[in-house]
Structure 1
């Protein structure tokens, strides 16, 4: 009983100390639970904003304790969260996207940094800074462990009740239990570990040996591995005189943040005389970082110059500038000023969202909008400021144009797109704008003439001959027919297909087996075979429609491989098999050019075909 009473006392104290953080955790939990039952998008937004507010309110509680502010500082946090709820777009699928995710993600990082630095806002106030943040970090790890154990224990208890008493709690109960434990439960556990807050969290304690082991034998070896890889890659760039790949940016950032984390964790050992390696590591890390930052600037500069700013490139460049400033500052100071690192990162993160005209969204949107116009203008696809979809456009350029269209669409920059759309295409484009994630390829198909890039290299080209309607969604008039096979794929790589013709007990076979030693042309010809077998499997009637395919190729040979698709009507072949009339209506007939032949008109022997067709059969 005493243990239970003590637990009740601790919970009551945690609620008094951190009522704001626990209140928003409760709101977030309730919002997610209710939303799972009602599919309410406002509740989804409320849940995310509530989760965002947990770290913000916790930081404000600690600041109030540190500076003994009399009036309830968490009220400011509630007002900030209300502003987030009002200003964030509705989470209705069409609005929730990268912008909202970036706002929530960066804000969450800033609020956690505020909790780490808020009680030390005064200049020169660093006493207990490392111990305070060590306590926050250890409490976070302990909370994660306790939350997992609590969830596992409760889940096992529920399973036991279900099996022993023959009950079924249902999926709704499990979902509610998960939200309660993961959000409200973890917040309460963290509050319990934080006890009386500031006064306890800043207390010094002996340096944990496990922490030194982690840094010395885990983080530092990882840094050495990254360093060897990055410097080897830098030497490769110099030797081959080639520009760095964009992916190297992430490895440099990983090296930088692992190094900074190591320095933060090792700070108490800096002045210990027997730990000379700590001071050596502190200074050598920043020295080794400077050449890598130069590599990072070149890599991100090349990407920005070629493709403009996006949110990712904006933050990579911003972090490169921040790391450069930290490295230079620490080298000149000669002493590892750990408070500077989280405080400066907090300021940089906040400015990236709040700076007028210089925030991540303004820079990225303006850059991609300008790129959209520049790509269209370069292809001479603009007439009086509107896109001329009948102008020939190179494949590589069209891919970039469609990619930018998708970017602007997912960021709700519809006004930029609509300003360039002619009146006769606005209805179609508006329908594409309603689909955030599947509009890129559809937009590219609006361009009537696509010129395949021909740089003399090996390539594979596919040309589609359709019937004027959209893809495979075709309707056939089957009056007068006895059977229809709605979709059959034929060509190299497709196995033969067999179909039973109902009460007639006949077997229709499309394609045929072939030995591996045949040429591509021979295999392709065999795939054009349609056979009819009697019930006993002996009598065979065959037709090969290779001549029809060759006639189509001959008719369009001059146009194939210079455009993506040629739309034609009624692309079909008709023939008889015994007492049956067969019609093959092609949804798609593709001609694949030989790898070594980059000419516009390749010889027929180097061509293979892929076919998608519907087969209609009528008994005479």
Structure 2
């Protein structure tokens, strides 16, 4: 009797559960028809690829581009989602919402699809991240409050977690059923069937489930229950963890800035990423805590009130470090985005001077997302600006003859970057024709352009901070310049406590040691003579091809020559010669 009641109860019966599930799916499709369409097409193409049935799309798209099509459709779905939310929050007619979603999806598809000319200038990860950032931001563009923005974002995160849970439950559950049928009953289950399950659920069913849980109310602010939960959460996260850590972080950055001013030293190459992490954490804590200031305790209230004063010095540090790097190496994607973050952070700090914008976390979230979106594609984007800068650097290097080994390494590094971005034609000499139908990876074109400018395309890239390792394996003739003593197999080491020992032909002992970039030679009981090996000489062995074949040293009126077969030196924190093998040549008259 109890069982019968459970099955027929309108709120808990099987039919009611099925109706609610279908109703939720229907509501998601009705609310987000364009997003649903893009997701369905994405899952459909993915299943075709698993079937290896490319003939259905072969007359439209090259089979090699099917993966690109899946990605582009997924990005189109992602772009249409916040556009539809924007229309719903502003109470536009449903037709307008469909049109906005369709336009946003098609634009995103065109931006990321590699078949379009300007897609080569798209930073894919930044573009996708910006679109995802617009999902909570879009409904509050030009409307709403920080409190309602916070609650909508929290519910949106919950909907996303439910989508991931649905992916795990549906995908894992169906896979477990298939595995049970295969292992327990011996039914043949192909590996492709598992892929179909996960592709269909991951690209369509789970996102559709999450969209069905997306909140429809854009006005509600956190109530007493949410405020109570946040009050307890802020004590753990804000008052006792995030805020104290950020304050200590700020003190460290300010002390480092003071050190640079006092010592007139250059900032470390990683300081930009440290400031980026610092700023990102500040903005995240602001978004989390600002709507609940009435329940915040002293540390969080202090932080939320005075955070603009904690930003200027780190931002100056960031811009100084960027200026040094840009002057030395030009614009790259990472440096462009770091600089953009610095500019946006400065704008947010200045915005706090306006009472209407002060403390508005919608602006804190929306401005970085919008800037990242604009920087992710097009002629104003990070890749396009980097290509322009590196093209200018490359032409400046090759126009100065002769090109030094260090400059040649820089030029080849730039050439590899341009090659990867499909921009070799920007630096190709007028006499060289670039075949657009050549190797997809551009390997031959890279070699052709390098050789046309007199560069060695086989020269290996060496990181500036990488240790120097040299092997003298090539045969060569070398003048001995009046030396009459030759010691073969000399192997001094800076880490060795005992000097390397050999003997003169008449029996006198020769002790050879290496320390502090000095080669010490002591004969018999005489005091050792120290031959200084300059940093310039050590660094000249960085490039195998252009490394010198001999090292000539002088000290106290004596000359020695080394024909190295092996050399190892550290570059950081200081240039230090640690090992050298080879032939040592002396003049007997210098060692009576």
1:257 matched to which residue of 2?
280
Instruction: Render the CA deviation track for 1:504-550: whole Å, top value 9, x for unaligned.
Output: xxxxxxxxxxxxx997999xxxxxxxxxxxxxxxxxxxxxxxxxxxx
Partner Cα separation in structure 2 for residue 461 and residue 442 of structure 1: 28
1:55 and 2:33 correspond? no
Partner Cα separation in structure 1 for residue 269 and residue 366 of structure 2: 29
User: 1:109-124 to 2 correspondence within 5 Å?
Assistant: 109-122=129-142
User: 1:177-576 to 2 correspondence within 5 Å?
Assistant: 177-194=197-214, 197-198=216-217, 204=223, 206-207=226-227, 208-209=229-230, 211-212=233-234, 213-224=236-247, 226-227=249-250, 229-272=252-295, 275-330=297-352, 333=355, 335-353=358-376, 358-378=380-400, 380=401, 393-419=403-429, 422-423=431-432, 434-436=440-442, 447=455, 460-463=469-472, 465=474, 564-565=544-545
Structure 1 residues 61, 466: CA separation in 2 closer, same or farther (over 3 Å shift)?
farther
Structure 1 residues 459, 256: CA separation in 2 closer, same or farther (over 3 Å shift)?
closer
1:605 and 2:574 correspond? no
Q: Which runs of 5+ in 1 are unaligned?
A: 381-391, 468-490, 494-516, 523-559, 567-589, 608-620
2:114 matched to which residue of 1?
90
User: Secondary structure, in 3 states, of the residue corresponding to 1:605?
Assistant: strand
Instruction: Render the CA deviation track for 1:573-602: whole Å, top value 9, x for unaligned.
Output: xxxxxxxxxxxxxxxxx9635559999xx9
CA contact (8 A) 1:464 1:565 kept: no
Partner Cα separation in structure 1 for residue 241 and residue 28 of structure 2: 35
Partner Cα separation in structure 2 for residue 262 and residue 313 of structure 1: 25
1:132 and 2:152 correspond? yes
User: Secondary structure, in 3 states, of the residue corresponding to 2:392?
Assistant: helix
Partner Cα separation in structure 1 for residue 190 and residue 499 of structure 2: 60
What's the offset of the Cα at 1:419? 2.7
Structure 1 residues 68, 159: CA separation in 2 closer, same or farther (over 3 Å shift)?
same
What's the offset of the Cα at 1:69? 1.9
Partner Cα separation in structure 1 for residue 147 and residue 120 of structure 2: 40
CA contact (8 A) 2:35 2:77 kept: yes
User: 1:35-184 to 2 correspondence within 5 Å?
Assistant: 35-38=49-52, 40-72=63-95, 73-86=97-110, 88=112, 90=114, 99-100=121-122, 102=123, 104-122=124-142, 128-184=148-204
CA contact (8 A) 2:76 2:109 kept: no
Partner Cα separation in structure 2 for residue 17 and residue 448 of structure 1: 59
Partner Cα separation in structure 1 for residue 475 and residue 49 of structure 2: 45
1:31 matched to which residue of 2?
45
What's the offset of the Cα at 1:167? 3.1
Structure 1 residues 316, 405: CA separation in 2 closer, same or farther (over 3 Å shift)?
same
Structure 1 residues 606, 364: CA separation in 2 closer, same or farther (over 3 Å shift)?
same
Partner Cα separation in structure 2 for residue 598 and residue 342 of structure 1: 48
Instruction: Render the CA deviation track for 1:156-175: whole Å, top value 9, x for unaligned.
Output: 33322221122342332222
Partner Cα separation in structure 2 for residue 309 and residue 55 of structure 1: 30
What's the offset of the Cα at 1:68? 2.5
Structure 1 residues 211, 155: CA separation in 2 closer, same or farther (over 3 Å shift)?
farther
Partner Cα separation in structure 2 for residue 170 and residue 96 of structure 1: 41
Partner Cα separation in structure 1 for residue 415 and residue 19 of structure 2: 62
Structure 1 residues 193, 326: CA separation in 2 closer, same or farther (over 3 Å shift)?
same
